[in-house]
Structure 1
């Protein structure tokens, strides 16, 4: 069940800080049991749920070799990254994220989600290497997610409240974090438990350890996907588990809290298993939606070209090929098309202009001042969850930046002697 250790809190900066946040004192930090020693007892209903989740996940993964689902692998990655970030309060549209990913700049929220997209995309390949440590690889991937607060923390972190004295949860002391991560890595290497059970417990344990100053939730959800890949459940695709977790996120948060109180995993295992089951269904549904979308766009392109042809005949060329490849490359420009298909820049621009005129792509001349990019907006909308309006903002580089005061959290950080610069409404250290 774990236990508590007493820690001392002494704020480092007090000038201009409300008096209640300058108080020193002792607090209780939770230290979880080693997962290798955890005795997990699940009833028949949870065991049956695990059977169903793993069977459906394998079915979806097996279809990855089929052209329909194989093409949407990158869209599934986008769905997972967007939903995982949405849980943390980042709400750009999939279109904004895709453009930020392509041109390496964009609004702050889109840039933040693009960083998570890079991490999820990298995890797909790295999880297949049996020599890669899943846990310590997540530590490296966190550097992509939160570059300003990268690496294993060397400070206390907590959830809720402005100091550990009033926090909802205080994570283990930082000096214990490396050992706890080593135990988690040994647990996953032991393959002691079945895939979805191991993924759920590993995720809950990482969130309980809270090894980073920022990005714990997103990094922890990346770990779910890498465990499923390493254990052979979904080795070729990323199931959008975070999309399902987002739909019932309050229950997800409650399950994590229950794990921290020592329920030995029953609640979080149930929540993650249900999310894996839903993610497998989402992947299959998205495959059908993408196939239907491509069929409609091809018909629309044919109608446009037929109307421009003196003979009424349609000659299939690069534009038709692009429709088939858009699930993998939903944002394009003339240079990338010319290089990918070995054609001239003029031919690439003609193909893109034809697709834009047919309504398949939407030209965006503001994303990058030096070029026009073309976006498959309707296709990207297929991976969006409801309630994710595109935020207003100005373009910024895809690099660590400081948020403007009106979009930042603003909570006072006594140790840093400044206000919090993370986005307003985030979950983490002092929220």
Structure 2
């Protein structure tokens, strides 16, 4: 192993026979896909000793410090007591990036519409469910047990009741053919082993002797290796990372866009998972350390860009009472840059007419625009905030 490797138990394999049962499989497919395949045995990590080389430890330490600085900056920059609007949009940005890794993409407007129940775009709805999974991860961060992991998955696949919050009951594999595991890049262990492997993972998560970023990276890789669910393993595993970072206090209130860092080089991310299964956790630890540094640095700029939009929107309301509903609505636009009268009513506890007048004022002052084209049930949006979010996502794709 090279000097920056971190030894972990490599997967061991046993050979099994596969017989295609897929009803659409042709004779040619059956001839190709029937036959032996290798199924892994996953080792315990509950008491795993992790020896970090100096270079890896230094990288982790730098990333941890940058994440902490980002958390403090994001919390103070907007000057919002509960940080709710900023927290919401950072969380949604992270959810969109995590979903994008799975080839699920949606623009900021469609995601915001989906949050209101106003979008018919399937991908936007998937991103929103991923956001709910991450919310569950953060909510349950202080008690990371088996039930918490299942709850994250249940939130993610809320529209799939047969799968949501339940372990798989059959073989799964990554890559290769849909007809069988023989050409897969990774095959999950037997489903009978999942409860004990997750129990082992939970014990690992409760350790206090590891740097949190190392613990998060290894826990993520272990969950991906176990592949306990029929679908949603990657997104659940990345939500788990944020639960570890929240529990540790490194990122106590904001959500750093770590998946955005992973999205910049998904090939290296997936390769690092392969190397973990081969017995080296160094690459996955460094992958998450690098992604965390990117998250912290790009997150600072994202916070500044969003803050500029808030300042400009407030300035556009010059001459209007500071306690007016229009002023009170401005911070909410960070977290929900597309809104309806009903949303503003509920958010600010306003009568319908007062909410409508506030939106009218925001439209008159150029803060909001009506792009719905409807006579009734209108939807209003903040073009500046949407542009900031879409520009951030486009920058990731260019990377």
How would you bin the TM-score normalised by the shorter chain?
0.7 to 0.9
Distance change >3 Å, CA 388–CA 276, structure 1 → 2: closer
Counterpart-to-counterpart distance in 2, 1:42 and 1:118: 34
Counterpart-to-counterpart distance in 2, 1:328 and 1:55: 26
Find the counterpart in structure 1 of residue 7 from structure 2: none
Matched, 1:202 2:219: yes
Counterpart-to-counterpart distance in 2, 1:202 and 1:290: 32
Counterpart-to-counterpart distance in 2, 1:83 and 1:55: 22
What is the Cα deviation at residue 6 of structure 1?
A: 2.4
Find the counterpart in structure 2 of residue 386 from structure 1: 394
Q: CA RMSD of the aligned region, Å?
A: 2.4
Counterpart-to-counterpart distance in 2, 1:85 and 1:2: 27
**CA contact 2:176–2:185 (8 Å) conserved in 1:** yes
* 1:207-218 paired onto structure 2 within 5 Å: 207-218=224-235
Counterpart-to-counterpart distance in 2, 1:297 and 1:53: 34
Q: Secondary structure at the match of 1:7?
A: strand
Q: Secondary structure at the match of 2:50?
A: coil
Find the counterpart in structure 2 of residue 255 from structure 1: 272
Aligned residues: 374
* 1:291-310 paired onto structure 2 within 5 Å: 291-302=307-318
Structure 2: 5+ residue runs without aligned partners? 1-9
Q: Secondary structure at the match of 1:383?
A: helix
Compare 14-23 and 239-248 and name the one that shifted more: 14-23
2:157 is matched with which residue: 139, 146, 156? 146
What is the Cα deviation at residue 207 of structure 1?
A: 0.7
Find the counterpart in structure 2 of residue 286 from structure 1: 302
**CA contact 2:260–2:396 (8 Å) conserved in 1:** no
1:155 is matched with which residue: 170, 175, 184? 170
Find the counterpart in structure 2 of residue 306 from structure 1: none
Counterpart-to-counterpart distance in 1, 2:30 and 2:53: 45
Matched, 1:172 2:179: no
Q: Secondary structure at the match of 2:334?
A: coil
What is the Cα deviation at residue 28 of structure 1?
A: 0.7
Matched, 1:190 2:196: no
**CA contact 2:75–2:254 (8 Å) conserved in 1:** no
Counterpart-to-counterpart distance in 2, 1:369 and 1:257: 54
Compare 220-229 and 352-361 and name the one that shifted more: 352-361
Matched, 1:103 2:117: yes
Counterpart-to-counterpart distance in 1, 2:146 and 2:69: 26
Counterpart-to-counterpart distance in 2, 1:221 and 1:171: 18
What is the Cα deviation at residue 110 of structure 1?
A: 0.9
What is the Cα deviation at residue 67 of structure 1?
A: 5.3
CA deviations on 1:57-84 (whole Å, 9 max, x unpaired) are 1222234542517341111101110000
What is the Cα deviation at residue 370 of structure 1?
A: 6.3
**CA contact 1:134–1:227 (8 Å) conserved in 2:** no
**CA contact 2:17–2:36 (8 Å) conserved in 1:** yes
Q: Secondary structure at the match of 1:119?
A: helix
CA deviations on 1:80-115 (whole Å, 9 max, x unpaired) are 100000111111101101111112642111111111
CA deviations on 1:378-420 (whole Å, 9 max, x unpaired) are 213323311799xxxxxxxxxxxxxxxxxxxxxxxxxxxxxxx
Distance change >3 Å, CA 9–CA 377, structure 1 → 2: farther
Counterpart-to-counterpart distance in 1, 2:349 and 2:157: 37
What TM-score, normalized by structure 2, do the two folds share? 0.86
Return the structure number with greater relative CO, CA threshold 8 A, min gap 6. 1
What TM-score, normalized by structure 1, do the two folds share? 0.80
Q: Secondary structure at the match of 1:386?
A: helix
What is the Cα deviation at residue 21 of structure 1?
A: 3.6
Q: Secondary structure at the match of 2:17?
A: strand
Q: Secondary structure at the match of 1:236?
A: coil
